[in-house]
A and B are shown apart, each in its own frame.
Chain A
């Protein structure tokens, strides 16, 4: 089955930029969505279709997708950005959604 690989953890200083990657085979042909999940809460959509932001999500969150890697970038990181982040794609060959392994972001 299709596998999406993310780094287990990313640390960032307040005010700096955090970059979270998501890799998979033949990624460039897939569109990626990103979710933020804080402890004990449901996931929240932060980026959809590679680069789009839902209303209410700060412009500090941005996404890109090229080649075999998608990237979620958090600019000017804040303490409130500490959470787990998951990427997601629709695998059309297997006809199922796949989530990444997840990345824990710590703002030091």
Chain B
């Protein structure tokens, strides 16, 4: 079965950084891009960026102004999302999701991780 399993909940101080992992299993990891999406409490979903897991190319939402970095380790079939300079507005559930194909753009997200709650508080 295809699964994306994310790392556990985190509590961070303002100004700190966070890094969430997303372990893929049950499919060929490098054949599908991975996206990161977040959801603040009571809010809609917000796309953050994607990584082409085959060649490592990335695309980010301009909203995050360079604060987000997505990487992957193909030997571990794991994608990572790092967000820096955290503020209380970054408090959200962070999801990874598999793209329907190797490149982001146009395709839907067909498999999602369980989500990782990150709380930013002093």
Contact = CB atoms under 8 A, between A and B. Distances in A.
A100 interface: yes
A76 to B, nearest CB: 24
Contacts, number: 53
* Residue in A31, A42, A44, A48 whose Cβ sees the most chain B Cβ within 10 Å: A42
Interface string A4-32: 00000000000000000000000000010
A61 interface: no
B32 interface: no
B11 interface: no
Interface string A74-108: 00000000000010101010111111111000000
Interface residues of A, number: 23
B55 to A, nearest CB: 18
Interface in B1-35: 35
A93 to B, nearest CB: 12
Nearest to A92: B105
B44 A99 contact: yes
5 closest Cβ pairs, A-B complex: A48-B108, A97-B47, A33-B108, A42-B112, A99-B45
Interface of A: 31, 33, 35, 42-45, 48-49, 54, 86, 88, 90, 92, 94-102
Given A35-B45, A86-B44, 12 more contacts: A31-B106, A42-B115, A43-B112, A48-B110, A92-B105, A94-B62, A96-B61, A96-B62, A97-B104, A99-B37, A99-B45, A102-B45
